[in-house]
Structure 1
Amino acid sequence: MLTVVTIAAMAAALAIGLAANHYQRRRASGDADEEKAPVSDLISPLETLAVLLVAFVIVVAAESFGAAGQAVGAEAHRVDQLYEVADYAPQPQRERIQGDAVCYARAILAYEWPQMDSSGEKAPEVSVWSSDFRRHFKELARTDDGTLDLLVDADDQRSVARQTRLAEAAPAIPPIVYWFMVVALAATIGAFAFGLPSNRGPSHIALLLVLAALFTGSLLLIADIDRPFSGQIHISASTMEETAADIAEDFTHDHPDHPLPCDLQGRRTAPP
């Protein structure tokens, strides 16, 4: 209903405006001194709309890109924190939680990261290890270990960061907003071209081409940073890669006689 009313109102306003313009032109047809609104006056509102729209969309896209980067860093930090805090837990939970932390980081890189540019959904290969964390926490709860609260807090923040990372993988700008912006910018360029003076020179054409290039570049930039994990300007997995390598090295040093419960891709190789 709202859509129908809006379309009807705009159509009615257009029809009334055209009818009034036609009536005014008929009355002033014989007047040689008739004043006409310059094209620049008609372009100005369209230009203002286009600039404000681009500024707003760039801010939204940039905020989403920044939030995605912060979530990636926070998740890697919490995984590392889980490993370090588990060092104060008793055996066998200490080794199990630390091994799960390494496998979780590896599974993120092997399974969840590659699919974020398409679906942004959780990978079950990663969720296996996050479920293992909670199982080990329940075992620690029976012993009333003092590190449990620290581990639960770190795991909760890890989960929040993972959810944020996955959520920010999806475009923050709705398609209808992006295409409306495209139309507005295209109309603005068309209006500027339409309003070129009759005695235009090369400088007018050059400036128009520069303006068109800047508007096009703005659209491409917005489309790119709105895909924070798959665009040309993208967030890399280097932070998680460094964490995975670091805690895997620590595990080898802390538990030299025990292999990790997973392979290099984070697939489980030992029974839970």
Structure 2
Amino acid sequence: MLTAITVVIMAAALAVGLCANQLRRRRHAADGSDDEEASVSDLISPLETLAVLLVAFVIVVAAESYGAAGSAVGAEAHRLDQLYEVADYAPEPQRERLQGAAVCYARAIMTYEWPAMVDEGRKAPEASVWSTDFRRHFKDLARKDANTFQLLVETDDDRSVARQTRLSEAMPAIPSVVYWFMVLSLAATVGAFAFGLPRQRGPSHLVLLVVLAGLFTGSLLLIEDIDRPFSGQIAITSEAMADTAADIGEDFTHDHPGRPLPCDAQGVRTRAAV
């Protein structure tokens, strides 16, 4: 919907500008002076500067948000894998419980939290169940192995920060009012360029104007796309977490042969594990 409105506004600005230019040509057909055209050009220049600076600023903000979202996804998957590995140094039964919870957390993120994040920007309680389990097992471990406990707490804290960053970056970083102000500024710029075309214009003027309108429209669509990092044409995927889920799932099978995970394939706690 946002994409369609953006394209319509830019196309309408181009059409209105060309129509206004045509009316101006007819009105001043008998006047050979260029005073009016020079005046129009003087007015367009600051408008062009405002539009370009605004687009550059918004692209930087959107790109930073997109980069932060990608880094958070990778960091969360890496810290979860690290948590599983550090848990190898914990005594039983905390070792098996922590590693099983890590596998289930990854599965719940993939099945429940990723879709909820993309659609609504919220966390999923199905995944939070397992992060709560981490802390519960940490308390049991604190009385047995203080060194491993400290390492696990630090790793889990990094995982939690990465998760919160991922969730926060899922929401648009650019306020709607800023985006639409930018759209109107670019639309006004395109319309002004169209209106200010010289009376003795050639095909090259129209071609360059259409190219300019296309570039402005493409910039707006690019900003809209990267401002929603987990959806769109260049969306950040859940591949990092999927790889971690598969990796630690295989490790659990190898490390605890014959022992079932406390959850099913979707990360939902099984009755036997309650």
- Which TM class, normalised by the smaller chain length? 0.7 to 0.9
Provide the C-alpha distance between the structure 1 equivalents of 2:141 and 2:247, rounded to a whole number of angstroms. 25
Partner of 1:43: 44
Question: 2:109 matched to 1:108?
Answer: yes
C-alpha distance in 1 between matches for 2:115 and 2:252: 26
Q: Quick one: which amino acid aligns to residue 74 of structure 1?
A: A
Q: Map 1:98-247; keep pairs closer than 5 Å.
A: 98-247=99-248
Q: Which amino acid aligns with 1:229?
A: F
1:38 Cα deviation after fit: 2.1
- Alpha-carbon distance in structure 1 between the residues aligned to 2:146 and 2:242: 31
Would you tell me which structure has more helix in proportion to its own residues?
2
- Would you say the 8 A contact 1:89–1:145 is kept in 2? no
The one-letter amino acid of 1:117's match is V
SS of residue paired to 1:87: helix
Secondary structure of 1:143 counterpart: coil
Structure 1 position 141, deviation (Å): 1.1
Q: Is the 8 A contact 2:62 2:226 kept in 1?
A: yes
Residue by residue over 1:68-96, the C-alpha shift from the partner in whole angstroms, topping out at 9 and shown as x without a partner, is: 00000000000000000000000000000
| Pair 1:266-2:243 in alignment | no
For 1:74, the equivalent position in structure 2 comes to 75
Match of 2:62 in 1: 61
Deviations 1:47-84 (A, max 9, x none): 00000000000000000000000000000000000000
For the 8 Å contact 1:189–1:212, the answer to whether it is kept is yes
- Where structure 2 has 5 or more consecutive residues not aligned to the other structure, the ranges are 1-32
Counterpart CA distance in 2 for 1:144 and 1:106 is: 28
- How many pairs does the alignment contain? 240
Following the alignment from structure 2 to structure 1, what is the Cα–Cα distance between the partners of residues 134 and 143?
A: 15
Tell me the distance in 1 between the aligned counterparts of 2:193 and 2:245: 54
The equivalent residue for 1:23 is: none
Supply the AA of the counterpart residue of 1:70: S
Distance 2:269 2:243 in 1: 21
Which residue of 1 is the match for residue 22 of structure 2? none
Is the contact made by 2:263 and 2:273 (CA closer than 8 Å) also made in structure 1?
A: no
| Deviation, structure 1 residue 252 | 0.1
Asked which structure has the greater CA Rg, the reply is 1
The 8 Å contact of residues 116 and 123 in structure 2, kept in 1 or not, is answered as: no
Q: Secondary structure at the match of 1:38?
A: helix
Distance 1:252 1:61 in 2: 42
Give percent identity, aligned residues only: 77
Give, in whole Å, the separation in 2 of the partners of 1:176 and 1:118: 21
Q: Counterparts of 1:117 and 1:174 in 2: how far apart (Å)?
A: 18
Match of 1:89 in 2: 90
Task: State the distance in 2 between where 1:252 and 1:144 align.
Answer: 24
TM-score, scaled to structure 1: 0.86
* Equivalent AA in structure 2 for residue 165 of structure 1: R
Partners in 1 of 2:74 and 2:118 — Cα distance?
18
The 2-side partners of 1:91 and 1:144 are apart by: 11
Gap regions ≥5 residues in structure 1: 1-32
